[in-house]
Amino acid sequence: MTISVGEKIPSTNFVQPTADGPQGVSSDEFFKGKRVALFSVPGAFTPTCSAKHLPGFVEHAADLKAKGIDEIACTAVNDAFVMGAWGKASGVDGKVTMLADGNGDFVKAVGLEMDGSKFGMGPRGQRFAMVVNDGTVEHLFVEGPGEFRVSSAEYMLENI
């Protein structure tokens, strides 16, 4: 069942790429006491994700922070090394935190997994965005299959 506005984020784990190597962080710890704009992409380095989704959040980071967002985070069902390399290649430093959901535990827990097998990608996360306030979903924007509209930084800015 898909998570809804007003519900707590389930307890899962991410792996965050850092200068000291991959570091585990629980969802409880990551979302505690702050307002986070989190967006999920089907895969790092994929066309729409690299050309539009991640760049939009990098470009609008200051605008989102001006609307009360404390941190912006990107997650995908990729490992921390891939997420770190993608973040570095995309110039996210200081603007977007990359969170690897390598086993898809987070997207399964929030009910937003998808099957990308027909594209050779296996189980992945759907394209979505949410605002999480101290661990509780405040806004949720889930894309239809193959779409990129409601999970964009621009759409989030207009709707929070």
- Active-site positions read 49
Q: How far is CA 32 from the centre of its chain?
A: 16
Cβ distance 130 to 140 under 8 Å?
yes
Question: Which letter, b or e, does each residue of 75-108 get, where b requires 16 or more Cβ atoms within 10 Å of its Cβ?
Answer: bbbbbbebbbbbbeebebeebbbbbbbbebbbbb
